Structure 1
Amino acid sequence: MTAIAQGRDRRAVLAGAVCALAAATALTGCSADDPDAGTNGVGTLPAGTIQSRTRAAADAARAVHLSGDVVSNGRSYRLDMRLKSGGGSGSVTSRGGTFGLLRVGSKLYLKADAGFWKHAEPGSGGGADADSGAGGKLGGKYVKVPQGDPAYQRFSGFTDKNLLLDGLLTLHGALAKDGHHEQSGVRTIRVTGGNGSGGTLDVSLEGTPYPLRLVRAGGAGTLAFSEWGKDFPLTEPSPGDTVDYGKQLPAS
């Protein structure tokens, strides 16, 4: 090979290296400046479309872990529930008392200690003495809640994935995007309703655009969502650990 040809080859290699370096630098600069680079792309969509995508993702997920506070009908509840299409399980805290909920199909069970039942309101179970007796009988057991009992209507909704999410994942007012954020190390895009007064929803920018955090309108609670799509066992309690109260439960 002649000296001239060798020189041309060296110049070509050098030029190629310079171009590659320039391209790499440009790409790096773009990634640093673009908060949606490397994401699932929903952050570039209009707010209404983001809400539709995240609702569809939540509906399609086979399971979810939901935790946080909900205010409903003037009463505050702290929830820690795992939900899927066949039911759900977890705990609910309200007015200083905590009880477990388990629903398998249409069968709903409530589990609480004796103190929970002893503080039931007189009248629904036959008076204070009867309620005190119920505490000893029901405490620490899974109590099967009759479907006609008011408690069934009140608490079964906390174990119903579709019903609960339909009621929660709704923002009120005009929708808008409120920048990029982060929840538990995951990048999110935030959508607001009514400039925030109608609630805010953080949607994952990584993988499937699941909702990760919801602040409800009017101070009606804040909820976190995790373990989307992660299945969990859901079985009825053993007969020895179950009490079928057989009539209306004492009011809590």
Structure 2
Amino acid sequence: MRVARVLVPLAVAGMVLAGCGDRTAGGATWSAPSAPAGNGVADLTADEILAKATAALDKAGSFQIKGQAREDGTTMSVDLKVQGKDLVGTIDMGSSTIQTLLVGGQPYFKADEAFWKENGGPQGAGLAQLVGDRWVKVSPKDEDFANVFKLGDPDEILKPDGKVSKGASTSIDAGPVITLIDKSDQSKLYVATTGEPYPLLTEDPDKQGKLVFSGFGDSFPEIKKPDAQDVIDFSKL
């Protein structure tokens, strides 16, 4: 559940592609509904709680993830909206930004000028000018890009790096939770103990990396196929 493990593939995939051719979640708050009765997950084992949280996120059908991680001195942040198997998101890597979009199984990405210049080699400036503000269409079979879109899969998002243990019951901004601890790195996942057992927050031990989950069941109209004139095929770069 280490936050950097979730975010790093986004940055790495973007760099591989380029070579071929409130953003801080720490203070995020939202209003929880009036307190319903306990949902019983606090009495379950760690593995059972994790399974319940994963199933609840999948059942919600849509959700939003917003947060940040620090890796090798670089702070990355993400704002990702998932609806069914589709998603749209923005990844900020400090000096450059990538937008990602998956609609009907077709992946796209859009990078700013700084990204192309930093990662496109001698042709970076030319690529930035060629692509402009258009979406880059990528083959669904492109394995370099595949990891980006695994972030829409609840099983992948909540997958621990090691064995999970059960921690204390506590409260966060979103309400009462039970804590799950990944023994491999001591990162934490907080699962709601009232209402649906949604995962509400993941947190690295040093609290430098956090992912906030919200928007369960929301509709995201911005997840839509871009117009043809706004798309360029990656194979043509």
TM over 0.5: yes
Is the contact between residue 143 and residue 244 of structure 1 (CA under 8 Å) also seen in structure 2?
yes
State the secondary structure of the residue aligned to 2:66.
strand
Q: Output aligned runs, 1:80-119, within 5 Å.
A: 80-119=79-118
Q: Distance in 2 between matches of 1:140 and 1:176?
A: 46
Contact 1:183 1:213 in 2 (8 A): no
1:179 to 146, 169, 174: 169
Residues of 2 paired with 1:227 and 1:179: CA distance?
23
Q: Which has the higher contact order (CA 8 A, sep 6+)?
A: 2
What per-residue deviation string (whole Å, max 9, x for no partner) do you get for residues 80-115 of structure 1?
100122310010122521111111122111112333
- Give the Cα separation in 2 of the matches to 1:88 and 1:59: 14
Report 1:1-252 matches (<5 A). 38-70=37-69, 77-122=76-121, 128=122, 130-147=123-140, 149=142, 151-158=144-151, 161-162=152-153, 165-171=154-160, 172-184=162-174, 186-194=175-183, 197-216=185-204, 221-233=209-221, 234-247=223-236
> Please, which runs of 5 or more residues in structure 1 have no aligned partner?
1-35, 123-127
- Check conservation: 2:176, 2:194, Cα contact below 8 A: yes
SS in 1 for 2:48: helix
| Residues in 2 aligned to 1:146 and 1:48: alpha-carbon distance in whole angstroms | 36
Between the two proteins, the alignment pairs up a number of residues equal to: 201
Moved more, 73-82 or 40-49: 73-82
SS in 2 for 1:108: strand
- Cα contact 2:61–2:83 (8 A) shared by 1: yes
Pair 40,107 (structure 1): closer, same or farther in 2 beyond 3 Å: same
Instruction: Measure the CA separation in 2 of the matches of 1:177 and 1:86.
Output: 32
Residues 30-64 of structure 1: per-residue CA shift (max 9 Å, x gap): xxxxxx99322322333333222112212222011
Change in Cα spacing, 1:232 to 1:149, as seen in structure 2 (3 Å) is same
Aligned Cα root-mean-square deviation (Å)? 3.1
Judged with a 3 Å threshold, the aligned counterparts in structure 2 of structure 1 residues 174 and 91 are, in CA distance, closer, same or farther, namely: closer
Per the alignment, do residues 56 and 83 of structure 1 end up closer, same or farther by CA in structure 2, a change over 3 Å counting? Answer: same
Q: 2:37, 2:195 within 8 Å by CA — same for their partners in 1?
A: no
Alignment partners' CA distance in 2, 1:121 and 1:219: 33
Q: Mark the structure with the bigger radius of gyration.
A: 1
Cα distance in 2 between the residues matched to 1:235 and 1:174: 37
Residue 119 of structure 2: SS of its match in structure 1? coil
Cα separation, partners in 2 of 1:236 and 1:156, compared to 1, 3 Å: same
Return the TM-score normalized by structure 2. Answer: 0.71
Q: What is the distance in 2 between the residues matched to 1:61 and 1:224? A: 16
5+ residue gaps in structure 2? 1-34
Q: TM-score, normalised by structure 1?
A: 0.67
Secondary structure class of the residue paired with 1:187: strand
Are the structure 2 counterparts of residues 75 and 108 from structure 1 closer, same or farther at C-alpha, using a change threshold of 3 Å? farther
Q: CA deviation at 1:211?
A: 0.4
Structure 1 position 70, deviation (Å): 4.8
> How far apart, in 2, do the equivalents of 1:142 and 1:174 lie?
39
